[in-house]
Amino acid sequence: MGFLNKIKIGARLTLAFMVMLAFIFILFLSVRAGLSSIDQAMHQIVQVEAKKQSFTADLDRHSQNAALLLLQIVTTPERQARVPLYTAMDLAGKQASVSFKNLQSLPWAGERAASLQNLATLREKYLQAFTDTVDLIELGDQAALAKQYASHTEPSLHALLKGTAELAAMQQTNMAEELASVLQRMSDTRSLLWILSLCALISGPFFAWAVTRSIIRPLDHGVAAMAGMAAGDLRCQLTIHGRDEAAMMLTQMQKMQISLAAMVLELRDSANQISSSAQSGQQGATDVANGVASQQLEISQIHRVVGDFVNKLHFAEKTAYSAQQQSQQAASLAGRGHQLIETASREIAAIAGTIQSSADAVDVLRQRANSMRTMISSVTEIAEQTNMLALNAAIEAARAGEAGRGFAVVADEVRRLADRTSGATREIYNVIEAMDQQTSEAIFQIDLGRNEMARAVAMIGEIVDPLTQLQQGASQATADLDLLSQNISEQVAESQAIANSVDAISQSADSNLRITRQASLDSSQLFEISLQLQKQMQRFRLS
């Protein structure tokens, strides 16, 4: 460390202070660069990759929904029942197209771009096959429909679902790789901070020791020489290295020793010069001590700022944890609401089926009543014909006289029986008319109930999608809050490490302050020695 002796003490202490500031500045730049890199990576994940993941999941969900609707359309024989399915199918297709256009609007590269292009081709094939299938369904050609569905529609549907699932898996894998890259950057930043902190902890004390040693050794040598001179011994040889203030002081002491040997009479003037030099050294040491004390105050302020930052990070960590708990509760409530609404939808669908069965049974009853009306009309005609025949028989019996009297009695009984039959048929006909009106009213009310049930099912279906999106959004928010909480915890640990480094620097500054005060004390002692030298100049021993 001989080169330090060639530098002035003030410049040497300034250099030490600048080196400490340089270490702190490098540490700050490293932290800022690491956090900036992490922030850019997280922005890439949140703004691009998260959107890709969300749009891919939406596309997969809408494609699966379209597949289920297609199966329902194929298995539904009545065209009127297929109309709402077509409407739902169009809605699912539009939603899938919107999700696919959103995916195409984002930047893609490499294997995922090829997979997206392949998915576009599969979608075109599936839409063409679906259009052909719908045409065959409307034409009612079951054989051609079965062939079209088995050879074209079903394979293209499976290929589309498989392509969508593969794209979702690739996107999930890529997002995991991006997160791993972010974690690696964070690990690299943390390692760099540890290395810089370790270098600061090692080089700081070493540099302080070197600077202190370069100042103390010449001063100790000068004090020893002054002690000998105070005892009157002017024969000691001074060893001088460097060009700093201590070397200048030793040079002056050597000159003083030589001058004392040659000019004892001028000893008083030389002693005055030593006193002046001692005063200058004391003032310089006092200035250095003041500078080190100011440095210590600045370091204390830095320590306080770092402590406030750590406390704020702790508060942010608690806030993130609270938000995470609330997000988990929201996801749980959304899941329960989704399950309850699905259960209600199934129950309403079952009730609608029961109502449909009741409507069918009432319709069958009305048809049978109509059949009975026809039969009663036939019975009425038979009764009228019987009445006419009985009347004719009574007329013929009256013509026959006594021979036809018994036959006339039978004819009267037959006529009365025909009249009773005709009256009974009229009553039955009235009852059937009343039943027909009641069954028509029942069918009308059942149709109204069925329509209300259908609207209730549609409304519940509209509620399910927002609840599903709410549940997915709450789950995604929970995952984001988990990552945020982890990042804040790591930043708390890193900030604590910075605070520890600042503590170490503060301790070094305390040591420098003690050393400079000791130097000032030594300068004061040197001044007192010079005063004593003036009083005891008669005790000098010359070589």
CA angle at 99 for the pair 98 and 102, rounded to the nearest 5° = 85
Helices 405-535 and 154-230 cross at an angle (nearest 10°) of 20
Q: What is the pLDDT of residues 317-345, one digit of tens each?
A: 677 567 667 666 766 766 676 676 677 66
Q: Higher model confidence: residue 396 or residue 101? A: 101
pLDDT at 265 over 60: no
List the CATH number of the domain containing 482.
1.10.287.950
- Residue 183's pLDDT band, with cuts at 50, 70 and 90, is confident
pLDDT at 70 over 70: yes
Mean pLDDT (whole number) for 493-506: 71
Amino acid at 261: A
**Are residues 187 and 326 both part of a single domain?**
no
Please report, for residues 385, 394, 399, 494, the alpha-carbon distance to residue 391 in angstroms, rounded to integers and kept in the order given. Answer: 10, 5, 13, 121
Q: How many domains does the chain have?
A: 2
- Residue 416's pLDDT band, with cuts at 50, 70 and 90, is confident
**Are residues 260 and 321 both part of a single domain?**
yes
109 within 8 A of 54, measured Cβ to Cβ? no
Nearest one of 38, 25, 30, 37 to 195, comparing CA atoms: 30
pLDDT at 523: 64
262 in a structural domain:
yes
219 in a structural domain:
no
Q: Higher model confidence: residue 94 or residue 376? A: 94
- Residue 260's pLDDT band, with cuts at 50, 70 and 90, is low
Distance (Å, whole) CA 134 – CA 141: 11
**Are residues 317 and 443 both part of a single domain?**
yes
pLDDT at 492 over 80: no
Scored b (16 or more CB within 10 A) or e, 96-123 reads beebbebbeeeebeeebeebbeebeebb
Give the domain extent around 314: 255-539
**Are residues 185 and 259 both part of a single domain?**
no
**Are residues 153 and 268 both part of a single domain?**
no
Contacts 24+ apart (CB under 8 A), 474-480: 474/327, 474/328, 474/330, 474/331, 474/334, 475/331, 476/50, 476/54, 477/327, 477/330, 478/324, 478/327, 478/328, 478/331, 480/46
| Cβ burial, residue 308 (10 Å; 0-12/13-18/19+) | exposed
238 in a structural domain:
no
Distance (Å, whole) CA 175 – CA 57: 13
**Are residues 369 and 464 both part of a single domain?**
yes
% of the chain exceeding 70 in pLDDT = 52
**Are residues 169 and 279 both part of a single domain?**
no
Q: Which of 14-18, 125-129, 397-401, 457-461 has the lowest mean pLDDT?
A: 457-461
Q: Quote the distance between the C-alpha of residue 36 and its chain's center.
A: 19
Q: What is the pLDDT of residues 40-66, one digit of tens each?
A: 656 555 556 667 677 777 777 777 777
Nearest one of 228, 276, 233, 288 to 252, comparing CA atoms: 276
pLDDT at 441: 76
**Are residues 199 and 309 both part of a single domain?**
no
Average pLDDT, the chain: 70
- Residue 146's pLDDT band, with cuts at 50, 70 and 90, is confident
Q: Higher model confidence: residue 221 or residue 72? A: 72
CA angle at 292 for the pair 289 and 293, rounded to the nearest 5° = 85
**Are residues 188 and 87 both part of a single domain?**
yes
Nearest one of 132, 138, 124 to 153, comparing CA atoms: 132
pLDDT at 102: 77
Among 52-56, 146-150, 240-244, 496-500, which range has the highest average pLDDT? 146-150
pLDDT at 271 over 60: no
240 in a structural domain:
no
pLDDT at 10: 64
pLDDT at 516 over 60: yes
- Residue 306's pLDDT band, with cuts at 50, 70 and 90, is low
pTM listed for this prediction: 0.33
Q: What is the pLDDT of residues 432-469, one digit of tens each?
A: 777 677 777 767 777 776 677 677 666 666 665 665 66
